[in-house]
Amino acid sequence: MTGFGDLYPRASLKWNEDVSNFMVYGTGDIPVGLYSKDNIANIGTGHGAIDLGGGYTYLDRQNGNEVSAVAGLTYNFTNPTTNYQSGVDFHLDWAASRLLSEQVSAGVAGYVYQQIGCDSGSGNTVGCFRSRILGVGPQLGLRFPMGQMQGYVGLKAYGEFGAKNTPQGWNTWLTFAISPAEPTRP
């Protein structure tokens, strides 16, 4: 396979009612990145996947509270190079934050990852090998104007625990996004 990384097509449907915001999504992984079973690190995953899920956000700008949760299931296809198929996994990401101003928010975030299906395939020499990890930590967000658009920078740091069949430690995520500016309120 050639390329610089896998393709991740995605689609989502979002709607809201007052302070309640809902989303359903579908995404996947099309393996086009470089992959070799002899490499210790690869650009591509070597296998496809489908992920389906949904989420809910409570966002009340009047009192400054936001609570979100997104849950999904991922089905992994067999890696044709290794004949190994990872089991189905469940994942939940959650966050709670408080608007400190119109631009700044702070709070706590976390995640749960639990493999609920056994690994399989003729290349599987380790058996079921279900993995699990949990993470929790602080988050900070900053929104700022960018002409007709708005920018967002988010920082999250997770301390991991409860690991099974996977390493645990610290994860730090830095997010930068540009989107249409929110309409000004009267």
- Torsion angle defined by CA atoms of residues 99, 57, 174 and 160, in that order, rounded to the nearest 10 degrees: 110
Q: pLDDT at residue 172 above 60?
A: yes
Q: Are strands 10-17 and 132-146 parallel, antiparallel or unpaired?
A: unpaired
pLDDT of residue 93: 97
Domain-wise residue ranges, the chain: 10-180
CA angle 35, 9, 111 (to 5 degrees): 85
Q: Say if residue 116's pLDDT is above 50.
A: yes
- Given pLDDT bands bounded at 50, 70 and 90, which one contains residue 61? confident
pLDDT, greater one: 53 or 35? 53
Burial per residue of 82-111, b for 16 or more beta-carbon CB atoms within 10 angstroms, e otherwise: eebbbbebbbbbbbebebeeeeebebebbb
Angle at 6 between CA 180 and CA 55, to 5 degrees: 50
pTM confidence score: 0.85
| Burial category of 180 from C-beta neighbours within 10 Å (exposed 0-12, middle 13-18, buried 19 and up) | exposed
Residue 123 zone, left/alpha/beta (φ > 0; ψ -120 to 50; rest)? alpha
